[in-house]
């Protein structure tokens, strides 16, 4: 088979087929997710938290993300690879957004980019799509604005549902091929999915979106501690890695490793 195209996601929506998206920031996870049938991989700016150890996604830069994008693209054969435009790299307007997105496409080799915001970035989305760069929108809770929003909070409750819908419409009208809905009530995500023509990808948005996305370290239980309500842990990678590491250290201390079979 061949690499997934944005067109395939529209077809999936028309057929009512749901699909899963994961973040990836390195070659091993990218290759595993690609082979396991994840059609879309996101090199998220969540690398800020999950790779670089920043408190928020605000500090991460284009130069930090580009090598991760290259690694994920090189390691995959089937997945459509989407790269996040980080905070500060597109807000100035369409010209800045285009300059940044072109770097991700040319130097990163990704197949699409994602940026945060609805009506306020419609001009940027239009400029990129006009230039031939597929854009994934991202509305609802947008982590790059967390200092304005006041932390991780559900967006679009009550009357604010209309705001989310207006943002979704703006993103679709500007030419985005899909849109992430983050931390919005399930009913709002359902409404957006029905009323807006492009595929919706939920995270903390209930079961009625066309697709679901999780940060891979959350999905696989590499990140421990209190997780947001929308996270489901499908494995305990933290536990597996901890016990492997303890065993390795103990065998080295006790002289059990290396054995004759590991020795030239």
d(CA 261, CA 27): 29
Selecting among 17, 91, 173, 182, the annotated active-site residue is 182
232 annotated to a ligand binding site = no
Q: Would you call 38 exposed, middle or buried from its count of C-beta atoms within 10 A (0-12, 13-18, 19+)?
A: buried
* Contact mark string toward ligand KIV, 119..148, x via CB under 6 A: -------------------x----------
Q: Which is nearer to Na ion, 138 or 191 (CB)?
A: 138
> Least distance from C-beta 161 to ligand KIV, angstroms?
20
Based on the shown chain and the rule CB under 6 A, indicate whether residue 44 belongs to the binding site for ligand KIV.
yes
Known binding residue 218? Answer is no
Q: Looking at the chain, how many residues does it have? A: 264
Pick 49 or 103: Cβ nearer ligand KIV: 49
Comparing C-alpha atoms, which of 202, 205, 129 is closest to residue 172?
A: 129
CA distance 51 to 68: 10
Binding mask 148-187 for ligand KIV (x = CB under 6 A): --------------------------------x-------
Residue 45 annotated in ligand binding: yes
Residue 116 in marked binding region = yes
CA nearest to 114, candidates 28, 15, 181 = 181
- 218 touches ligand KIV (CB under 6 A): no
Report DSSP state, residue 249: H
Among 6, 1, 3, 5, residue whose Cα is nearest residue 177: 6
Task: Check if 182 is active-site.
Answer: yes
Q: Quick check: 174 and 183 in contact, CB under 8 A?
A: no
Q: Establish if 156 lies at the interface with Na ion (CB under 5 A).
A: no
Find the shortest distance in angstroms from Cβ 42 to ligand KIV.
Answer: 6
253: left (phi > 0), else alpha (psi -120 to 50), else beta? alpha
Nearer to ligand KIV, 105 or 219 (CB): 219
Residues 68-87 that bind Na ion (CB under 5 A): 84
Q: Is 84 in the site for ligand KIV (CB under 6 A)?
A: yes
Q: What tokens appear for 90 in the block?
A: 């597109």
- Closest-by-Cβ residue to Na ion is 44
Q: Is 106 annotated as a binding residue?
A: no
Tokens of 36: 């396991």
Member of 46, 124, 144, 209 binding ligand KIV (CB under 6 A):
46
Six token digits for residue 83: 């790269």
**What six digits make up the tokens of 47?**
């690398």
Helix axes 27-35, 62-75, angle to 10 degrees: 40
- Pull the structure tokens for residue 7: 């067109």
Active site residues: 182
Question: Which residues sit at the interface with ligand KIV, rule CB under 6 A?
Answer: 23, 42, 44-46, 84, 138, 180, 203, 213, 215
Annotated binding site for Mg(2+): 45, 84, 116
Annotated binding site for 3-methyl-2-oxobutanoate: 45-46, 84, 114
Annotated binding site: 45-46, 84, 114, 116
């Amino acid at each position: 088979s061949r690499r997934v195209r944005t067109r395939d996601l529209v077809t999936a929506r028309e057929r009512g087929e749901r699909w899963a998206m994961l973040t990836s920031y390195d070659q091993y996870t990218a290759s595993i997710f690609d082979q396991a049938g994840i059609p879309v991989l996101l090199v998220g700016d969540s690398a800020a938290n999950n790779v670089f150890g920043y408190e928020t996604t605000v500090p991460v830069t284009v130069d930090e993300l580009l090598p991760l994008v290259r690694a994920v693209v090189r390691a995959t054969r089937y997945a459509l690879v989407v790269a996040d435009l980080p905070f500060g790299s597109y807000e100035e307007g369409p010209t800045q957004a285009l300059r940044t997105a072109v770097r991700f496409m040319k130097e990163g080799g990704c197949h699409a980019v994602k940026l945060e915001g609805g009506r306020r970035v419609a001009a940027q989305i239009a400029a990129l799509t006009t230039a031939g760069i597929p854009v994934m929108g991202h509305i609802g809770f947008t982590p790059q604005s967390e200092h304005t929003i006041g932390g991780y909070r559900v967006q679009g409750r009550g009357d604010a549902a209309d705001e989310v819908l207006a943002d979704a419409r703006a993103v679709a009208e500007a030419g985005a091929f899909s849109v992430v809905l983050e931390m919005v009530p399930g009913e709002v995500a359902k409404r957006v999915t029905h009323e807006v023509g492009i595929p919706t990808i939920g995270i903390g948005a209930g079961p009625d979106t066309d697709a679901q996305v999780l940060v891979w370290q959350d999905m696989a239980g590499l990140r421990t501690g209190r997780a947001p309500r929308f996270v489901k842990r499908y494995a305990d990678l933290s536990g597996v890695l901890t016990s492997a590491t303890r065993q390795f250290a103990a065998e080295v201390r006790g002289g059990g490793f290396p054995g004759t079979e590991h020795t030239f």
